[in-house]
Amino acid sequence: MNKISTLVYSAIICALLSSCATVMRDETQDIPIHSNVKEVNIRVLNRHGIAVYEGQAPTVVPLKTSRNGYFSPAKYTIEASKKGYAPIRRPIDWHLSPWYYLGNIVIGGIIGYLIVDPLTGRMYSLDEEVNLYMTPLPK
């Protein structure tokens, strides 16, 4: 009986941990945004061009890592502007979390690998930080 209960508990633990990225990551990520110039106006746009944040750098912006769909990472673009400087427009890149591809392989999660993590979107991470380098306009 002791071996059976150990086997059952082991199976339960494996099932609970089979979606490593879902267990280890949150659905939002705080992205620090820095600039070489103070008080730069920034806008963060989602994949549809809708502003999800407007303010000034330096700042920290919480962004969702997924767009609520199967294998659907969130995609953002940041626009930066300041009088006397060339405007900047660049993407905030997404990446697969190491918890997704390593955690699910090690802990045994075909369910986590193909179903749970892709549905929750927690398998994605965004750039750890964004550094904006503003270039002065010629006078």
**pLDDT tens, residue order, the chain (139 aa):** 577 767 666 655 554 444 444 444 457 889 999 999 999 999 999 999 999 999 999 999 999 887 766 777 889 999 999 999 999 999 999 887 777 777 766 665 677 767 777 777 777 888 889 999 999 999 8
Of 57, 48, 56, nearest to 76 by C-alpha is 48
Taking the complete model, does pTM exceed 0.85, yes or no? no
Of 19, 20, 50, 55, nearest to 35 by C-alpha is 55
The predicted pLDDT at position 23 comes to 46
The predicted pLDDT at position 65 comes to 82
> Which distant-in-sequence residues (6+ apart) come within 8 Å of 119 by Cβ?
70
| 127 phi/psi in degrees, rounded to 5 | -50, 140
